[in-house]
Chains A and B, each alone.
Chain A
Amino acid sequence: MNVLRAVLWKDLLSEWRSRDRLPAMLVFALLTVVVLRFSQPGASLAGNPPGAPGLLWVAYVFAAVLGMNRAFALELENEALAGLALVPVDRGWIFLGKAAANLLLLALAQVTTGLFFEILFDVDLLSVAAPFLGVALLGAVGLTAAGTLFAGISVRTRYREVMLPLLLFPLLVPLLVGAVQATAGLLGEGRAGPAALQLLAVYDGVFLIASFLLFEYVLDE
């Protein structure tokens, strides 16, 4: 747990000082929302426009991938990754620390993008704010669990900026199906379907446990 806290503290402090990730994530997510909004045919999207939940999650995924790629780029400078790899505890705690930092940054990007999305797409997210935050959190946990693992795997590859989405996107399909269905349920009926929530919870659990165990080998050369 000390290692988790130490890595979380280090990542957030580095981000606070360098502002390397969050501004880029926000700009990218907001730009995606704008582009998607103006790609919709017809001027009015009032009510609950079809496809809106999917578009929102596309913006979230793009922002998450951008942030997670940069999360490990910070470890490459001065070969700091070697220092992390020498921790005398399970390296899974490093994974949890980095995943927690990624989760916090993604959550900030999600809230900001969600508000922007509400205005631009004329959807009523605020009336279901609490359950929507729950769904967004469940989705973000899965995104960061899988993303942090694969960012760690791809960090030493030559084309890591390309490798991460190539490895990650196919594995995100179940998570995105659950997240989009749950969000659509909230916007349409005011409640998320239990099947979608179960899918998200199972995905989160599987990737948190698997990533914790696999990270021991991810940091080996």
Chain B
Amino acid sequence: MWHRPRGPDRVSAWAIEAEGLEKRFGPIAALQPLDLSVRAGTSLAVVGPNGAGKTTLLRLLAGLARPSAGRLQVGPADPDRRRRRAGVGYLGHATLLYPALSARENLVFTGRLHGVADPDARAAELLEAHGLTGFGDRRVSGFSRGMAQRVAIARALVHEPPLLLLDEPFTGLDPDAADALAARLAGLHAGGRTVVLVTHGLGRATAFAERVVVLRRGTLAVDMARGDAEPRAFEQTLRATLGPPS
């Protein structure tokens, strides 16, 4: 069995390089040829309207889908896909949880899949960190969407991945929980992790990310770093590209 590396090197090496990245589903181009270069340790937000290709891009980055064309390198240059998967913490549209299992069992299971040394201790640590200590032994099937989302976020962090790919992580969270998550993501990013956040909410995107890309109809419409413009102009440019809310 392959063992994931530990220590700071894991975090520093996780950049993203995409050249001519394209994904087609039959005749439909979900993602047009796209170039994207993300330095390790960057917090990147991907925004765009429905059907822009945000989720497709995230699934390609996670290694859950294969590109139809183009080149994609995520993390260290290594042809072994297993190593790439080891460094990815992924949260999709859905929670990726098993409803018949408890929150703790879901986390322990994920820990075992990823070869975490003490999955029980890690699960307890994450339950506490996400305010779920009293709910750890309840089945996920009985959780509200917000509670399940908190477990799902904890699940993505079980193996301490250097790259976090999060698709609408604020979905279902109440304002306090959303703020707590935003603070936690900021902390994870400050620790050197690369964080890619897909969201509809431009406010969350600009508050969290140092760089924002806007996708429209599968193409990269805007790619701006926070330092490229004054804060107000930064948000105004992005808002103008996104257009009025649909």
Chain A residues near B (Cβ < 8 Å) = 1-3, 5-7, 9-10, 13-14, 17-18, 74, 77-80, 82-90, 216, 220-221
Contact = CB atoms under 8 A, between A and B. Distances in A.
Contacts of B93: 79
Contacts of B240: none
Interface residues of B, number: 36
Interface stretch (B35-43, B61-69, B178-186, B191-199): B61-69
B4 interface: yes
A18 to B, nearest CB: 5
Given A3-B113, A6-B113, A221-B59, A80 B85 contact: no
Top 5 nearest A-B pairs by Cβ distance?
A88-B86, A6-B112, A79-B94, A221-B65, A83-B96
21 contacts: A2-B1, A3-B112, A6-B109, A10-B98, A10-B101, A13-B101, A78-B98, A78-B99, A79-B95, A80-B96, A80-B97, A85-B85, A86-B62, A88-B2, A88-B4, A88-B82, A88-B83, A88-B86, A88-B115, A88-B159, A90-B82
Contact of B98 (A74, A216, A220, A221): A74
Nearest to B159: A88
Nearest to B109: A10
Given A18-B100, A82-B90, A83-B155, A13 B105 contact: yes
B97 A78 contact: yes
Q: Mostly helix, strand, loop or mixed at chain A's interface?
A: helix
Nearest to A7: B113
A87 B114 contact: yes
B100 A14 contact: yes
Nearest to A2: B112
B88 A86 contact: yes
A80 B156 CA distance: 12
B20 interface: no
A74 B99 CA distance: 9
Contacts of A83: 90, 96, 110, 113, 155
B92 interface: yes
B237 to A, nearest CB: 33
A162 to B, nearest CB: 21
Contacts of B110: 83
A1 B139 CA distance: 27
Contacts of B98: 10, 14, 74, 77-78, 80
A79 B96 contact: yes
A79 B1 contact: no
A87 B113 contact: yes
A80 B101 CA distance: 12
Given A83-B90, A86-B64, 18 more contacts: A2-B115, A14-B98, A17-B100, A17-B139, A18-B100, A78-B99, A80-B97, A80-B98, A82-B90, A83-B110, A83-B155, A84-B113, A85-B63, A86-B62, A86-B85, A88-B4, A88-B86, A221-B66
Contact of B1 (A78, A84, A89, A221): A89
Nearest to B87: A88
Given A3-B112, A89-B1, A90-B82, A82 B101 contact: no
Interface in B106-161: 109-110, 112-115, 139, 155, 159
A111 to B, nearest CB: 25
A83 B2 CA distance: 18
Nearest to A75: B98
Contacts of B105: 10, 13
Given A3-B113, A78-B94, A89 B100 contact: no
A190 to B, nearest CB: 44
Contacts of B99: 77-78
Contacts of A74: 98
Contacts of A90: 82
Contacts of A6: 109, 112-113
A59 B199 CA distance: 50
A85 B64 contact: yes
Q: Which of A6, A13, A84, A90 has the most CB of B within 10 A?
A: A6
A221 B24 CA distance: 11
A84 B109 CA distance: 10
A25 to B, nearest CB: 18
Interface string B4-29: 10000000000000000000000000
